[in-house]
């Protein structure tokens, strides 16, 4: 029973450094410049519907792609020799230690019309393809940057799936598809949920990827918020309003996700 | 069986190629002699490596980054693991509330988290006297990385046999001992991947750091790099990234070699990490 | 090829200055008559805040400006960098850190003056400023009485284009709207610079606050949007340097930098005129200067004087020359200008004639907050124009309803199952 106390320092920490700042965001989002209550900023959101729509859409695609890529990879990693697993895991994370901006620059170099990939394809007689400044490039940037955050939680639950469980299912006459659907996926559900959260959320609020790989005309919510806070107009209130709406959207989507998590309803209210 | 093995190896190769493609570009560019615009390779040169070590700004930001990453990773791993254990024992309702709060720093766009923490620190200054710097920066990093630790540890706790902890206590362990001996080994992979994530986020974070750091003594490497963008990224940064990459790679290889030889010696299961 | 010129100019300079007084500690030559030693050993620290990559740092054989200052004066410099005027403003405004020297751009200086965030510089402590600063940069629009700022660099906005793929000579901003170059045009990715180009084309002032004029400019940019390959800032280095686009507006100094990797590129300043920008050194307000505590006030005064010493140092001929050669922008320093290579001095784009500057260029001033917000709103409209999907909002509503229904039904079914 006492182990509940272990969470106490964290709870205090979060109360001070998360709840209070969140309150500040709501305060700013619901007031005008002079600090009077106002919903003008919130009611302007209709104008940005397309941006919201596009951000969520691209983030959903990126999340799905990440899941498709990461799932087999995590499974393969979890079936490796134990001493190899740690190394492989670090190899997955290592690219993220190179600066984000540098990595995105490198992708620009690769994807440009005169870029490395098109040059290589040119030798084979293909292309050049229009790859940069498209929504596809934005999704690629999201997948590249956030796929490790899908791999990690998936791997971490899959190591717990004992080979004997799979063998037992096989002995009982399941084919490999059935093993996957009836054994592996249900057992790795917590990891899938965590992975989706950790990929979807940063994808939906990113701003540098869309600017550099999307050519600046595919504005996302992150760009919009950044423009309010670090743009010439310095409109903290509008920035806060947009983030409130964004948060509500994310909560909603996460709530839907949770409907698939039969084990225990943890994570989200609703 | 062999076919599956081949297929899975092929898959690994493709994914790692995808992950490391931009890194190769970075490494190649770090040997580019031209100091002008980014990616035209004009000739081989090592001069960026030489000059890197004389660049005070870059070296001091590197040092700040490593310091902040180390402190915040250790603190957030301890804090987060303890929290996960505590949360796991909570009743459904309070658990869901705490988990919601845990999701906030992850769900908020970085820039909003950054701004809100800045507002908080400015607000606190009404009561205490301090300047923005190392302390505010480390607090911010702990705040945004602890949830990742929790999110990584929680699934492990859920998978764990709930009676393990009680069994250990029945066998005479104190609660603390039971945690160390029975629970921790079970959730270790989660703790490690959480710590790894915390470290990664801390090393790479720009936006939140920007709003919570202050002055030259807490300027991290990402801040230095982002401040170069009106003009151009100094190629010394490419050289630095390459060195960092090579250093981590070396550590990995050495560790692997040691593991392998140890495994041969004992013929037992290797230790994972 | 410019490097060679720089080296030859340097050797000439080295010969020229050996006759002047020197300080034993440092390698940099300074004018006589200024006591750089008065703070040595007094533990004075200066916090300097500048754009990234915007000072000569000793790499590639250049002068280590900050290091030499520390050697010369014994003052410790803590140097940090910012990515944009707005970032810097948010740091100062929230009071996160105290700085002794900042180097923002024109309109931002105007804003800082307006909000009483700058100290007046005591130019008696900066003799080099009066001696060397070009008269045409005195009393600029952003600091009309020239009490708060000392120019660091200046320049104009030009058009950078690929002469190997564009046959005609580019002379007008209208080329950025030319359908021939559809898909090959780059445009500024910030509202102020992009709107400025449209405003110049329309013949309006860059600093207009008239909403109708701004709207017209925005419409012009919306018209341009289908032709634009990408909205960029620093990405222009890669895109133009590697021939991924034909034509782009950018700052002259940076354009020259890009031209060195790609010899096909050419630069022009359009005949309609352009924006003249300047970055200048300022001293932010230090509340301790008005402190009741004698010790604190004294310390703040020493700091301010040290900051003025820094500005004076930056106005030393050798420092200004080597710094400007590293940065590649234009210098307001007459002594350094005179020592530049002739080709650079006569370059019509780096150093346009005086009448061009007075007649054809306009500097930004600080705009009222409402105008800034209006401009931001227009900018968002430009960015989302062309892909307005009228189904987006209804679809989202339908999705919300569907999700709720799904959730409720699912729960209901589950409950029934549990009860069974």
Q: In a mutagenesis test of the C interface, which of B22, B25, B26, B38 is the best target, namely the one with the most C β-carbons within 10 Å?
A: B38
Kindly tell me if the per-residue pLDDT of B232 is higher than 70.
Answer: yes
Min Cα separation C401/chain A (Å): 11
- Tokens for C181? 């170059």
Q: How many CA atoms lie within 13 A of B240 on its CB side?
A: 27
Under an 8 A CB cutoff, do A156 and B272 touch?
no
Q: How far apart are CA C100 and CA B173, in angstroms?
A: 60
Q: How many CA atoms lie within 13 A of A115 on its CB side?
A: 21
Interface of C with A in 167-196 (CB under 8 A): 189-192
Min Cα separation A143/chain B (Å): 10
Q: How far apart are CA C277 and CA C251, in angstroms?
A: 9
- CATH match for C155-276+366-383 among 3.40.50.2020, 3.30.70.1710, 3.40.190.10, 2.40.10.10: 3.40.190.10
Interface of B with A in 83-142 (CB under 8 A): 83-87, 89-90, 92, 95-113, 115-117, 119-120, 123, 139-140, 142
What is the reported pLDDT for A2? 60
């229904």: which residue's tokens?
C405
Please give the interface size between A and B, counted as residue pairs whose CB atoms are below 8 Å apart. Answer: 282
Confidence tier at C9 by pLDDT (50, 70, 90): low
Under an 8 A CB cutoff, do C83 and B230 touch?
yes
Q: Is residue A115 part of a domain?
A: yes
Min Cα separation C102/chain B (Å): 12
Q: How far apart are CA A212 and CA A215, in angstroms?
A: 6
Q: Which of A83, A222, A236 shows the shortest C-beta gap to B270?
A: A83
- Residues of chain C positioned with their CB less than 8 A from the CB of B225: 52
User: What are the sequence ranges of the domains in chain C?
Assistant: 2-148+283-350, 155-276+366-383
Closest alpha carbon within chain A to B238: A102
Convert C356-391 to b/e letters by CB count within 10 Å (16 or more is b): bbeebbbbbbbbeeebbbbbbbbbbbbbbbeeeeee
What is the reported pLDDT for C388? 59
Q: How far apart are CA B185 and CA B197, in angstroms?
A: 19
Whether C155-276+366-383 and C2-148+283-350 are alike in CATH topology: the answer is: yes
- Residues of chain A positioned with their CB less than 8 A from the CB of B140: 17
Q: How far apart are CA C362 and CA C200, in angstroms?
A: 10
- Residues of chain B positioned with their CB less than 8 A from the CB of C52: 224-231
Beta partners for residue C77, in sequence order: C46
Mean pLDDT across chain B: 86
Mean pLDDT across chain C: 89
Q: How far apart are CA A92 and CA A9, in angstroms?
A: 32
Q: How far apart are CA B150 and CA B197, in angstroms?
A: 11
- Are C245 and C186 in contact by the 8 Å Cβ rule? The answer is yes
| CB of C404 less than 8 A from some CB of A | no
Under an 8 A CB cutoff, do B241 and A99 touch?
yes
Closest alpha carbon within chain C to B236: C59
pLDDT in tens, B150-181: 988 988 888 888 788 888 888 888 888 888 88
Kindly tell me if the per-residue pLDDT of C16 is higher than 50.
Answer: no
Q: How far apart are CA C290 and CA C309, in angstroms?
A: 21
Confidence tier at B269 by pLDDT (50, 70, 90): very low
- Tokens for A188? 């790795």
Kindly tell me if the per-residue pLDDT of C23 is higher than 60.
Answer: no
Q: Which of C87, C233, C238 shows the shortest C-beta gap to B38?
A: C238
Q: How far apart are CA C317 and CA A227, in angstroms?
A: 40
Q: Where are the beta strands (DSSP E) in chain A?
A: none
- Residues of chain C positioned with their CB less than 8 A from the CB of A223: 383
Q: Is residue A28 part of a domain?
A: no
Give the SS3 label for residue A99. coil
What is the reported pLDDT for C139? 93
Per-residue pLDDT of chain A (270 residues; tens, 9 = 90+): 466 788 899 999 999 999 999 898 899 889 988 888 888 888 888 888 888 888 988 999 999 999 999 999 999 999 988 878 888 888 998 998 888 888 998 999 899 988 888 888 988 888 788 889 999 999 999 999 999 989 988 998 898 888 888 888 888 888 888 888 888 888 888 889 889 888 998 899 888 899 889 988 888 998 898 888 888 778 888 988 998 888 888 877 777 776 666 544 443 332
B40: left (phi over 0), alpha (psi -120 to 50) or beta: beta
Q: How far apart are CA C158 and CA C242, in angstroms?
A: 19
Under an 8 A CB cutoff, do C191 and A215 touch?
no
Residues near B82 by beta carbon (within 8 Å), at least 6 away in sequence = A6, A7, A9, A10
- Of the candidates C68, C59, C25, C75, the one whose C-alpha atom is nearest the C-alpha of residue B54 is C59
pTM score, two decimals?
0.87
The CATH number assigned to the domain holding A74 equals: 1.10.3720.10
User: What are the sequence ranges of the domains in chain B?
Assistant: 56-233, 239-264
What is the reported pLDDT for C255? 92
Tell me which H or E stretch contains C408.
helix C392-419
Q: Which of A9, A100, A246 shows the shortest C-beta gap to B79?
A: A9
- Tokens for A229? 């806070």
Closest alpha carbon within chain A to C188: A216
- Residues of chain B positioned with their CB less than 8 A from the CB of C254: 231-232
Transcribe A150-187 into DSSP letters: HHHHHHHHHTTS-HHHHHHHHHTT--HHHIIIIIIHHH
Min Cα separation B219/chain C (Å): 7
What CATH superfamily classification does C2-148+283-350 receive? Periplasmic binding protein-like II (3.40.190.10)
| C contact chains, 3+ CB pairs < 8 A | A, B
Q: Where are the alpha helices (DSSP H) in B89-183?
A: 92-107, 110-124, 134-159, 163-170, 175-178
What is the reported pLDDT for A151? 93
Give the SS3 label for residue C211. helix
- Tokens for A144? 């590249």
Beta partners for residue C102, in sequence order: C49, C282
Under an 8 A CB cutoff, do B156 and A10 touch?
no
- Residues of chain C positioned with their CB less than 8 A from the CB of A49: 392-393, 396
pLDDT in tens, C154-167: 999 999 999 999 99
Under an 8 A CB cutoff, do A219 and C384 touch?
yes
Find the domain containing A193 and state its range: 49-234+242-259
Q: How far apart are CA C404 and CA C392, in angstroms?
A: 19
Q: How far apart are CA C384 and CA C379, in angstroms?
A: 9
- Are C254 and C132 in contact by the 8 Å Cβ rule? The answer is no
Interface of A with C in 224-263 (CB under 8 A): 224, 227-235, 252, 255-256, 259
Confidence tier at C15 by pLDDT (50, 70, 90): very low
What is the reported pLDDT for B39? 58
Residues near C113 by beta carbon (within 8 Å), at least 6 away in sequence = C142, C143, C148
- Check whether the bond before B100 is cis (ω within 30° of 0): no
Query: Which of A150-159, B141-150, C203-212 is predicted least confidently?
Result: A150-159
Q: Alpha carbon of A116 to those of A3, A121, A145, C150: distances in Å?
A: 55, 9, 20, 45
Confidence tier at C149 by pLDDT (50, 70, 90): very high
Give the SS3 label for residue C18. coil
Alpha-carbon Rg for chain B in angstroms: 23
- Are B108 and A247 in contact by the 8 Å Cβ rule? The answer is yes
3-state helix, strand, coil in chain C (%, to 5): 50, 15, 35
Q: Where are the beta strands (DSSP E) in C259-400?
A: 265-268, 274-282, 361-362
DSSP state of C175: G
Under an 8 A CB cutoff, do B55 and C59 touch?
yes
What CATH superfamily classification does B56-233 receive? MetI-like (1.10.3720.10)
Its ipTM equals: 0.88
Under an 8 A CB cutoff, do B273 and A86 touch?
yes
Q: How far apart are CA C230 and CA C249, in angstroms?
A: 12
Under an 8 A CB cutoff, do A234 and C407 touch?
no
Q: How far apart are CA A161 and CA C3, in angstroms?
A: 63
Under an 8 A CB cutoff, do B36 and C257 touch?
yes
- Residues of chain C positioned with their CB less than 8 A from the CB of A133: 229-230
Min Cα separation A98/chain B (Å): 6
pLDDT in tens, C80-107: 999 899 889 988 988 888 899 999 999 9
| CB of C92 less than 8 A from some CB of A | no
Q: Alpha carbon of C21 to those of C17, C30, C340: distances in Å?
A: 8, 7, 22
Closest alpha carbon within chain B to A198: B106
Q: How many domains does chain A have?
A: 1
Q: How far apart are CA A215 and CA C233, in angstroms?
A: 10
- Residues of chain B positioned with their CB less than 8 A from the CB of A109: 25, 29, 38-39
Confidence tier at B63 by pLDDT (50, 70, 90): very high
Beta partners for residue C247, in sequence order: C161, C185
Q: Alpha carbon of C140 to those of C125, C131, C145, C362: distances in Å?
A: 21, 17, 8, 11
| CB of C376 less than 8 A from some CB of A | yes
Please give the interface size between B and C, counted as residue pairs whose CB atoms are below 8 Å apart. Answer: 123
Under an 8 A CB cutoff, do A53 and C395 touch?
yes
Min Cα separation C357/chain A (Å): 26
pLDDT in tens, B93-121: 888 888 888 888 877 778 788 888 988 99
pLDDT in tens, C287-332: 999 888 999 999 999 999 999 999 999 999 999 999 999 999 999 9
- Of the candidates C114, C78, C69, C62, the one whose C-alpha atom is nearest the C-alpha of residue C93 is C114
- Residues of chain A positioned with their CB less than 8 A from the CB of B117: 17, 21
Transcribe C225-258 into DSSP letters: GGGEEEEESTTHHHHHHTTS-SEEEEEHHHHHHH
Q: In a mutagenesis test of the B interface, which of A27, A99, A160 is the best target, namely the one with the most B β-carbons within 10 Å?
A: A99
Q: Could you give the dihedral angle defined by the CA atoms of residues A136, A137, A141 and A142, in that order, rounded to the nearest 10 degrees?
A: -30
| CB of C409 less than 8 A from some CB of A | no
| CB of C396 less than 8 A from some CB of A | yes
| CB of C384 less than 8 A from some CB of A | yes
Please give the interface size between A and C, counted as residue pairs whose CB atoms are below 8 Å apart. Answer: 104
Q: Could you give the dihedral angle defined by the CA atoms of residues A217, A218, A222 and A223, in that order, rounded to the nearest 10 degrees?
A: 0
Q: How far apart are CA C386 and CA C388, in angstroms?
A: 6
Beta partners for residue B167, in sequence order: none
Interface of C with A in 238-277 (CB under 8 A): 238-239, 242-244
Min Cα separation C298/chain A (Å): 35
């Amino acid at each position: 029973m006492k182990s509940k106390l272990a969470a106490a320092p964290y709870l205090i920490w979060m109360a001070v450094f998360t709840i209070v700042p969140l309150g500040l965001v709501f305060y700013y989002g619901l007031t005008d410049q002079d600090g009077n209550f106002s919903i003008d900023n919130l009611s302007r959101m209709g104008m940005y519907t397309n941006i919201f729509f596009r951000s969520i859409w691209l983030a959903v695609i990126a999340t799905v792609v990440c899941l498709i890529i990461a799932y087999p990879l995590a499974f393969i990693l979890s079936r490796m020799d134990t001493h190899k697993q740690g190394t492989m895991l670090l190899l997955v994370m290592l690219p993220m230690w190179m600066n984000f901006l540098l990595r995105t620059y490198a992708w620009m170099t690769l994807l440009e019309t005169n870029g490395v990939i098109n040059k290589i394809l040119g030798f084979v007689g293909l292309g050049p393809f229009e790859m940069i400044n498209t929504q596809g490039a934005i999704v690629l940037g999201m997948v590249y940057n956030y796929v490790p955050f899908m791999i990690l939680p998936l791997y971490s639950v899959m190591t717990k799936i004992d080979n004997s469980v799979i063998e037992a299912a096989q002995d009982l006459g399941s084919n490999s598809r059935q093993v996957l659907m009836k054994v592996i996926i249900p057992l790795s559900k917590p990891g899938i949920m965590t992975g989706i959260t950790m990929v979807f959320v940063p994808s939906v609020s990113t701003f540098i990827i869309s600017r550099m790989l999307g050519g600046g005309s595919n504005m996302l919510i992150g760009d919009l918020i950044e423009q309010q806070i670090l743009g010439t107009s310095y409109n903290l209130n509008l920035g806060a309003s947009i983030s409130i709406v964004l948060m509500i959207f994310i909560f909603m989507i996460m709530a839907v996700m949770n409907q698939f998590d039969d084990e225990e309803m943890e994570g989200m209210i609703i | 069986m062999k076919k599956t093995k081949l297929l899975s190896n092929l898959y690994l190769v493709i994914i790692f190629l995808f992950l490391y493609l931009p890194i190769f570009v970075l490494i190649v560019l770090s040997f580019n002699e031209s100091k002008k615009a980014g990616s035209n390779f004009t000739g081989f040169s090592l001069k960026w490596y030489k000059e890197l070590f004389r660049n005070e700004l870059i070296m001091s930001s590197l040092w700040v980054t490593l310091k902040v990453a180390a402190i915040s990773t250790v603190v957030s791993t301890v804090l987060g693991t303890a929290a996960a254990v505590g949360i796991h024992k909570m009743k459904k309702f309070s658990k869901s509330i705490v988990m919601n709060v845990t999701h906030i720093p992850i769900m908020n766009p970085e820039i909003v988290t950054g701004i809100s923490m800045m507002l908080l620190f400015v607000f606190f200054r009404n009561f205490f006297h301090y300047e923005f710097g190392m302390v505010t920066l480390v607090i911010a990093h702990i705040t945004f990385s602890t949830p990742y630790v929790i999110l990584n540890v929680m699934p492990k706790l859920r998978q764990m046999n709930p009676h393990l902890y009680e069994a250990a206590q029945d066998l005479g362990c104190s609660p603390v001992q039971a945690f160390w001996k029975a629970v921790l080994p079970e959730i270790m992979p989660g703790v490690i991947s959480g710590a790894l994530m915390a470290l990664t986020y801390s090393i790479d974070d720009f936006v939140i750091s920007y709003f919570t750091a202050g002055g030259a003594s807490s300027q991290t490497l990402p801040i230095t790099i982002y401040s170069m963008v009106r003009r151009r990224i100094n190629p010394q940064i490419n050289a630095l990234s390459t060195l960092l990459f090579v250093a981590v790679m070396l550590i990995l290889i050495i560790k692997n070699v040691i593991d392998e030889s140890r495994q041969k010696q004992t013929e037992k299961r290797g230790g994972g990490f | 090829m410019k490097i060679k010129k720089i080296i030859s100019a340097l050797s000439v300079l080295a010969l020229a200055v050996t006759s002047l007084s020197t300080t034993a500690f440092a390698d940099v030559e300074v004018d006589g008559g200024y006591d750089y030693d008065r703070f040595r050993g007094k533990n004075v620290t200066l916090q300097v805040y500048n754009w990234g990559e915007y000072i000569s740092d000793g790499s590639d054989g250049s002068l280590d400006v900050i290091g030499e200052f520390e050697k010369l004066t014994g003052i410790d410099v803590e140097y940090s960098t910012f990515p944009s005027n707005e970032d810097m403003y948010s740091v100062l405004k929230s009071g996160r850190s105290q700085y002794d020297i900042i180097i923002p751009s024109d309109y931002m200086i105007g804003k800082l003056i307006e909000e009483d965030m700058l100290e007046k510089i005591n130019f008696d402590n900066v003799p080099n400023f009066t001696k060397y600063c070009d008269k045409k940069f005195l009393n600029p629009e952003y600091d009309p009485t020239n009490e708060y700022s000392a120019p660091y660099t200046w320049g104009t906005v030009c058009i950078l284009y690929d002469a190997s793929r564009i046959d005609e000579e580019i002379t007008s901003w209208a080329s950025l709207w030319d359908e021939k170059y559809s898909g090959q045009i780059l445009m500024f990715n910030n509202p102020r610079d992009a709107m400025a180009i449209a405003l110049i084309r329309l013949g309006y002032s860059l600093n207009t606050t008239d909403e109708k004029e701004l709207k017209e400019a925005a419409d012009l940019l919306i018209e341009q949007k289908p032709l634009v390959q990408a909205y960029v800032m620093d990405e222009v280095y890669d895109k133009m340097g590697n021939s991924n686009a034909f034509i782009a507006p950018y700052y002259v100094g940076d354009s020259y930098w890009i031209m060195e990797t790609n010899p096909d590129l050419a630069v022009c300043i359009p005949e309609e005129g352009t924006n003249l920008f300047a970055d200048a050194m300022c001293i932010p307000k230090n509340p301790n200067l008005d402190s009741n505590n004698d010790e604190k006030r004294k310390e703040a005064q020493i700091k301010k004087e040290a900051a003025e010493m820094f500005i004076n140092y930056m106005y030393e001929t050798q420092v200004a020359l080597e710094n400007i050669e590293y940065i590649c922008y234009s210098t307001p320093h007459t002594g350094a200008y005179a020592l530049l290579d002739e080709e650079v001095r006569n370059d019509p784009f780096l150093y346009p004639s005086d009448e061009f500057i007075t007649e054809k260029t306009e500097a930004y001033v600080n705009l009222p907050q409402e105008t800034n917000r209006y401009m931001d709103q227009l900018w968002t409209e430009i960015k989302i124009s062309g892909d307005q999907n009228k189904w987006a909002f209804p679809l989202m509503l339908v999705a919300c309803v569907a999700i709720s229904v799904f959730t409720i039904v699912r729960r209901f079914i589950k409950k029934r199952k549990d009860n069974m």
